[in-house]
Amino acid sequence: MNIIPSVDFSDFISGDEGRKQQFVNAIGKAYEEIGFVALKGHFLDNELVDNLYTEVKNFFTLPTETKRKYEIPGIGGQRGYVSFGKESAKGKKEGDLKEFWHFGQYVENNDALLAEYPENVTVNELAQFNKVGKETYRMLEKTAKYVLRALALHLRLEETYFDDYIFNGNSILRPIHYPPIKKEPKEAVRAAAHGDINLITLLMGAQGRGLQVQNHEGEWIDAIAEPDELMINVGDMLSRHTNNKLKSTIHRVVNPPKESWGTSRYSIPFFMHPVSDMKLDVLEGCIDQNNPKQFDDITAGEFLNERLIELGLIKK
């Protein structure tokens, strides 16, 4: 497959069973074949998107010493600011050419999770930054819930199978800034080839070239969304849970052509994580004679911890 399929979310929530099933079939097929879809008709409105980009750009243009005030030691970069070059892809020594911010879950009625998750960090210099971030987080979380409902139906599970696992889940909203490139990078790219850790990722800002996806033939293809679309891909947790029926596809963000080095790039992924005690054991319905169980039993929290160590964000 050499193009990213596009689906319209309004089909799933239309109330028309035929259109709903059509959406389930289309998104299921896409995730089995390439692991990515472009989704239009989601819950983010244009005003919220514009406000978010304004606030994100305002934050990243703050002086470096101001941003560094919000870099919190000892939490593996799970909240607040992570400075340029700190994160590297699994197996890569070179840090990616990016800086980013993390908004995390706004826990409701669960003291144990309040104690488990780090607190969100408030940026004092920008009055609207945290408010707009929270609103975006909620809308992306809602969109992700419905996408997972469609995938549950595709997997012949109860439609709301994932709902309890993702309520108060350890999800992350990550505004990323790829600054202008000032000199020839030796080995580093904006984001080296990697698979995502989580259940699914919803990406804002995939307009224009940069994001590339590796298809099953090993070829890199451009993943470019329309202005009103989110790019949504399967993460390793969901791939593992489905015995690789749904594919977590390797992807990367390449450096732009030299004439565009002077420009910044912004992208804003939402990493949908479940609660940490969700069992990622392979679903029985995804095991058969031709597809024996490929993965050991593990919880989402254990898997996340393993991967954060591999990424260099948590020290052993």
Q: What is the pLDDT of residues 157-216, one digit of tens each?
A: 999 999 999 999 999 999 999 887 766 666 555 566 788 899 999 998 766 677 888 888
- Among residues 200, 199, 202, which one has the least CA distance to residue 276? 199
Q: What is the pLDDT of residues 115-134, one digit of tens each?
A: 999 999 999 999 999 999 99
Residue 296 lies in a domain: yes
83 beta partners: none
Q: What is the pLDDT of residues 239-261, one digit of tens each?
A: 999 999 999 988 887 766 676 66
CATH for 259: 2.60.120.330
Contact 147, 232 (CB under 8 A): yes
User: Would you call 88 helix, strand, or coil by DSSP?
Assistant: coil
Residue 1 lies in a domain: no
Contact 250, 146 (CB under 8 A): no
Sign of CA dihedral 162, 165, 169, 170: negative
Contact 231, 252 (CB under 8 A): no
Amino acid identity for residue 260 in this structure: S
Contact 12, 209 (CB under 8 A): no
Q: What is the pLDDT of residues 258-271, one digit of tens each?
A: 766 677 888 899 99
Specify burial of residue 13 (Cβ count, 10 A radius: 0-12, 13-18, 19+).
middle
Note the pLDDT of residue 143.
96
Residues spanned by the domain of 170:
6-310
Global confidence as pTM = 0.89
Residue 315 lies in a domain: no
Q: What's the structural domain count of the chain? A: 1
